[in-house]
Chain A
Amino acid sequence: MGDKGVAVGLSGVVKRFGDVTAVDNLDLDIRDGEFFSLLGPSGCGKTTTLRMIAGLELPTAGSIQIHGEEMGIRPPNKRPVNTVFQSYALFPHMNVARNVGFGLEMRKVDKAERETLVSWAIDLVEMGEMAHRKPAQLSGGQQQRVALARALVNRPEVLLLDEPLGALDLKLRQQMQHELKELQREVGITFVYVTHDQEEAVTMSDRIGVMHDGRLLQVDSPERIYEHPTTRFVADFIGQTNFLEATVASADEVVLANGDRLRLSTDHDGGAAVAVTVRPERLTVHGRGEAPGGTHGLDGVVDSVVYMGNAINYTISVDWMHLEVRCPATLAGDRKYEGDEVTVSFDPDHASVVIG
């Protein structure tokens, strides 16, 4: 307890709404100063988790600590966190400056200091010229910035963001992703970011926690989550992938459905039904029997070829399934055609054993 490196610590957190368990026994440490994303499909419990940290919901069971301090039933106005709401929730009857200054006013910060901080925050999000406008006179992206400034001006220990980019169009969203990450580096505040957009989570986060059905399935860096998912759900949710059905033989060997043995470490019990996941871009296509040493080859026939410009997508049927393969266009000199007999190969280091 009281670990200095932990900004938000959740242990055994459960939230039930009647018969529905929204969050199921969640254990998670969010590190000080990191950009942490809670990622999952809608209804997975990520927003509920965020709201429990903010104090807008109280957990049914478990403990939530912020910098080692137990939050218990403390109301939201007494917690050292601020939230950027999905709908922004700007106060329509106040102009930008009044909105941004609201938190400081409630905490009785004196007027001179308040004005300094408000103009700092408004400049931080580049809204200086809009300070006297009402929210209704701002675009979605501008409202988003004001919501951000209104939270950041209080210098919270943790900033909670609930799908703040959800309402923006694609181009603006990408721009804001970049700006949010920059902003987080600049202010050095821990960000807890809730999103269902895997690309958003991967591009911005230091670490990602993937949630499904109220459970936290995996907490890792974006690279680890993408390259080495531990469950089928995570592998499938983050990007496209191939699943090769397999059975665990021993702690470092699995047997594929066609009988091939593959050296892959796993902590699942012998005999457990698992899948080996390999990303389409980690597979390469060769002439029959030409797979390089150190890789695992599977013989198959090219089913379809789709030219994508920067890449070529192959669907190859091996005797018990189809594999999706994505080859960079620069390697297309060795292009295969429908009906070609080929060998698909991959480096076992780029494969992961998943369960579920």
Chain B
Amino acid sequence: MGKGVALSTAEPMGATRWLLRGHSALVYAFFYAPIIVLVFYSFNESHLVGRWSGFSLRWYEAFVQNDNIQSSLWVSVKICAASTVISVVLGTLAALSIERFRWWGQKAFDAVLYLPIIIPDVTMAVMMLVFFGETAQLFNVIPGVDLTNGLEKLVLSHVAFNISFVSVVVRARLANLDEAMEEAAADLYASRWQAFRRVTLPQIMPGVLGGALLAVTLSLDDVVVSSFVSAVGATPVSVYVFGMLRKGVSPLINAVSVVILAASMTLVMASLVLERATSSRKR
């Protein structure tokens, strides 16, 4: 028995070792090979994807010169920024209300809050379409709000699914936070707001940032909900690219994808650097 335990913790040897290495290599290849291929062919001179005819930046040039792509990228950035900010605030509040307070109907709220994570995108998309179809006029009564403009609808629908993800992440962080910490702040003359601002928020910040990053990714990624909700003049880049596919796969899509890939990687790197900087300052 003791021998078995010792063996299981030791480094695998012989054939097992090579088998495991091969397995890891395959897993990584599975993850990254398509990306490498995508990046590679974005520099292809040919207009045919998959046939290399020489290095060229012509697709990046086409990308820069294509006003439709430029404007749809800009739409995506706006939707992403607005829906992230709104869903981070609301999602954090939802997490706080569930973790720190007891109120009537809480269990039901808790269950409903997670629905957007479980239900299929298509269902969500149809729900949004029907919802906006029925209520757009009602919203328009509010001065300054115009839901016939697709941008607001897109922001609202992205907020609708992002809240769930943000609150899950923030909640996990809150659950690990000693409640006595907030009591101590109150005991030391802090008002509720001061206790939140000075004690709770700094400690759930990694969760809030993680939630925000998730919201950014989900918002940029979304095709299904967005394509149901978007109107003319407000097409996010994901929907636009999907539309281009119908006219055939062009290396332009590769170039667009590489730009988005680079942007999101920069974002992730930045957040990692930021977190390392703040945690080293703590020490």
Chain A residues at the B interface, C-beta cutoff of 8 Å: 54-56, 75-78, 81-83, 85-87, 89-93, 102-103, 106-107, 134, 150-151, 154
Taking CB atoms, residues of chain B closer than 8 Å to A85 are 180, 183-184
Tell me the minimal C-beta distance from A253 to chain B in angstroms.
52
The answer for the CA separation of A102 and B198 in the assembled complex, in Å, is 10
20 extra interface residue pairs, beta carbon distance < 8 Å, beyond A76-B187, A77-B191, A91-B185? A54-B187, A56-B186, A76-B183, A77-B186, A77-B188, A77-B189, A78-B189, A85-B183, A86-B180, A87-B178, A87-B180, A89-B178, A89-B181, A89-B183, A93-B202, A102-B185, A102-B188, A107-B189, A150-B188, A151-B187
Pair B185/A75 contact, Cβ less than 8 Å = no
Q: Is B282 an interface residue (CB 8 A)?
A: yes
Pair B180/A134 contact, Cβ less than 8 Å = no
Tell me the minimal C-beta distance from B36 to chain A in angstroms.
41
Q: Count of A-B contacts with CB under 8 A?
A: 60
Taking CB atoms, residues of chain A closer than 8 Å to B191 are 77
12 A-B residue pairs with CB within 8 Å: A77-B189, A86-B180, A89-B180, A89-B183, A91-B181, A91-B185, A91-B199, A93-B282, A102-B190, A106-B194, A134-B283, A150-B188
Taking CB atoms, residues of chain B closer than 8 Å to A154 are 188-189
Main secondary structure of the interface of B (DSSP, over half): helix
**Contact partner of A77 among B178, B190, B282, B283, CB < 8 A?**
B190
The answer for the CA separation of A54 and B183 in the assembled complex, in Å, is 10
Tell me the minimal C-beta distance from B253 to chain A in angstroms.
45
The answer for the CA separation of A76 and B183 in the assembled complex, in Å, is 8
Which of chain B's residues 187-219 have a Cβ closer than 8 Å to chain A?
A: 187-191, 194, 198-199, 202-203
Taking CB atoms, residues of chain B closer than 8 Å to A87 are 178, 180
The answer for the CA separation of A87 and B178 in the assembled complex, in Å, is 9
The answer for the CA separation of A86 and B178 in the assembled complex, in Å, is 11
Q: How many B residues, CB 8 Å from partner?
A: 19
Pair B183/A56 contact, Cβ less than 8 Å = yes
Taking CB atoms, residues of chain A closer than 8 Å to B183 are 56, 76, 83, 85, 89
The answer for the CA separation of A78 and B194 in the assembled complex, in Å, is 14
Closest B residue to A101 using CB positions: B188
The answer for the CA separation of A87 and B181 in the assembled complex, in Å, is 9
Pair A92/B188 contact, Cβ less than 8 Å = no
Closest B residue to A86 using CB positions: B180
Tell me the minimal C-beta distance from A58 to chain B in angstroms.
13
The answer for the CA separation of A89 and B188 in the assembled complex, in Å, is 12
Pair B184/A83 contact, Cβ less than 8 Å = yes
Taking CB atoms, residues of chain B closer than 8 Å to A89 are 178, 180-181, 183-184
Closest B residue to A87 using CB positions: B180
The answer for the CA separation of A276 and B198 in the assembled complex, in Å, is 57
Chain B residues at the A interface, C-beta cutoff of 8 Å: 178, 180-181, 183-191, 194, 198-199, 202-203, 282-283
Tell me the minimal C-beta distance from B129 to chain A in angstroms.
45
Pair B186/A75 contact, Cβ less than 8 Å = yes
Closest B residue to A78 using CB positions: B189
The answer for the CA separation of A75 and B188 in the assembled complex, in Å, is 11
A89-B181, A92-B203 known; A83 vs B283 contact (CB < 8 Å) = no
Taking CB atoms, residues of chain B closer than 8 Å to A107 are 189
The answer for the CA separation of A150 and B184 in the assembled complex, in Å, is 10
Closest A residue to B202 using CB positions: A93
Taking CB atoms, residues of chain A closer than 8 Å to B190 are 77, 102, 106
Pair A82/B188 contact, Cβ less than 8 Å = yes
Tell me the minimal C-beta distance from B149 to chain A in angstroms.
42
Pair B189/A56 contact, Cβ less than 8 Å = no
A93-B282, A134-B282 known; A76 vs B178 contact (CB < 8 Å) = no
The 7 closest A-B pairs by CB, nearest first: A103-B188, A89-B184, A89-B180, A106-B189, A76-B186, A77-B189, A83-B187
The answer for the CA separation of A87 and B190 in the assembled complex, in Å, is 19
Tell me the minimal C-beta distance from A284 to chain B in angstroms.
50
Closest B residue to A56 using CB positions: B183
Taking CB atoms, residues of chain A closer than 8 Å to B185 are 91, 102
Pair A82/B187 contact, Cβ less than 8 Å = yes
Tell me the minimal C-beta distance from B245 to chain A in angstroms.
48
Taking CB atoms, residues of chain A closer than 8 Å to B189 are 77-78, 103, 106-107, 154
Taking CB atoms, residues of chain A closer than 8 Å to B194 are 106
Closest A residue to B283 using CB positions: A134
Closest A residue to B199 using CB positions: A91
The answer for the CA separation of A47 and B203 in the assembled complex, in Å, is 27
Taking CB atoms, residues of chain B closer than 8 Å to A90 are 184
Closest A residue to B281 using CB positions: A93
Pair A106/B188 contact, Cβ less than 8 Å = yes
The answer for the CA separation of A83 and B189 in the assembled complex, in Å, is 11
The answer for the CA separation of A150 and B183 in the assembled complex, in Å, is 14
Tell me the minimal C-beta distance from A258 to chain B in angstroms.
54
Tell me the minimal C-beta distance from B199 to chain A in angstroms.
6
The answer for the CA separation of A332 and B187 in the assembled complex, in Å, is 55
The answer for the CA separation of A173 and B105 in the assembled complex, in Å, is 45
Closest A residue to B205 using CB positions: A93
Taking CB atoms, residues of chain B closer than 8 Å to A76 are 183, 186-187
Tell me the minimal C-beta distance from B207 to chain A in angstroms.
14
The answer for the CA separation of A154 and B189 in the assembled complex, in Å, is 10
Tell me the minimal C-beta distance from B277 to chain A in angstroms.
14
Taking CB atoms, residues of chain A closer than 8 Å to B187 are 54, 56, 76-77, 81-83, 151
The answer for the CA separation of A76 and B185 in the assembled complex, in Å, is 9
Most B CB contacts (10 A, CB to CB) among A82, A93, A150, A154 go to: A93
Taking CB atoms, residues of chain B closer than 8 Å to A151 are 187
Taking CB atoms, residues of chain B closer than 8 Å to A103 are 188-189
The answer for the CA separation of A106 and B190 in the assembled complex, in Å, is 6
Taking CB atoms, residues of chain A closer than 8 Å to B198 are 102
